[in-house]
């Protein structure tokens, strides 16, 4: 009776111990399995770090554009508008570079049209901002394309170890190959788990960067028109009055 009670109490503990879990597979795989696992974990951590930092950076630029539309173009002069922008604003950088280019144009010894000179300066400033926003995306693209192959390397090593055990034992028993094959499948799964978020993050951030680039290009065009016209040309601020739906249109009187 006592022996049966002890056996019943020990049964759940034996079932809870899984000899084919992640840690057990890494222990069986040795230094190669641990190296592959650490590389994949590092890639995953780097992916989420880039994702969240770039989201914060992009959101700042998006909020800056909203402020530009509501405050900058309501100013009476360019310098007054610059004073209303944030110190490290991307749009302040564009305006500062435009003002600097306008001041430098008068110092040129070789005649260059002001429009071409300002357009080139604003384009360089715009490209610098876009390049900064694109920082880190190359890492996501690299992780998305290489992490499955890193996992595949662990898979190949696991299959190789399984074949060695089969050759050493002379028979393909489940006990001999379950550990190495399980390790191989885990490495494949880890490679995919790291790759999928990296690809999704890359596409998501790239789409947001394109939208920001369009906003920068639109502001740069408006700024160029404002500067070459001495403030006479600037975008219309505010939305037009909403149309009155349902109000009858008066008929135009016609002469008989």
What are the boundaries of each domain within the chain?
30-228
20 CB burial (10 A radius; 0-12, 13-18, 19+): middle
How far, in Å, CA of 137 to CA of 202, rounded? 6
91 CB burial (10 A radius; 0-12, 13-18, 19+): buried
Say if residues 137 and 205 touch (Cβ distance below 8 Å). Answer: yes
Is the whole model's pTM more than 0.95, yes or no? no
| pLDDT tens, N- to C-terminus, the chain (256 residues) | 434 544 544 445 444 455 555 666 666 666 877 888 889 899 999 999 999 999 999 999 999 888 888 888 888 878 888 888 888 888 888 888 888 888 887 777 777 777 788 888 889 989 999 999 999 999 999 999 999 988 888 777 777 776 776 666 666 566 555 656 666 777 888 889 999 999 999 999 999 999 999 999 999 988 888 888 877 777 776 544 444 444 444 444 444 3
**Rg value, the chain, Cα:** 32
């Amino acid at each position: 009776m006592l022996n049966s009670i002890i056996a019943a109490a020990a049964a759940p503990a034996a079932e809870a111990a899984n000899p084919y879990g992640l840690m057990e597979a890494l222990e069986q795989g040795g230094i190669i399995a641990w190296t592959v696992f650490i590389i994949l974990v590092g890639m995953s951590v780097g992916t989420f770090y880039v994702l969240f930092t770039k989201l914060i950076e992009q959101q700042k630029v998006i909020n800056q554009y909203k402020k530009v539309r509501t405050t900058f173009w309501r100013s009476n002069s360019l310098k007054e508008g610059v004073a209303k922008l944030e110190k490290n604003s991307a749009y302040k950088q564009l305006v500062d570079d435009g003002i600097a280019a306008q001041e430098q144009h008068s110092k040129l010894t070789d005649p260059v049209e002001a429009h071409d000179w300002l357009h080139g300066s604003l384009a360089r400033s715009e490209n610098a901002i876009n390049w900064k926003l694109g920082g880190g995306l190359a890492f996501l693209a690299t992780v998305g394309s290489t992490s499955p192959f890193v996992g595949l390397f662990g898979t190949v090593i696991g299959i190789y170890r399984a074949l060695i055990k089969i050759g050493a034992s002379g028979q393909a028993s489940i006990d001999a190959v379950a550990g190495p094959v399980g390790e191989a499948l885990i490495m494949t799964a880890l490679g995919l788990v790291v790759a999928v978020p990296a690809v999704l993050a890359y596409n998501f951030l790239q789409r947001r960067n394109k939208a920001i680039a369009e906003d920068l290009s639109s502001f740069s065009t408006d700024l160029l028109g404002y500067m070459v016209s001495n403030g006479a040309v600037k975008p219309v601020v505010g939305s037009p009055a909403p149309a009155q739906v349902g109000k009858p249109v008066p008929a135009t009187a016609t002469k008989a």
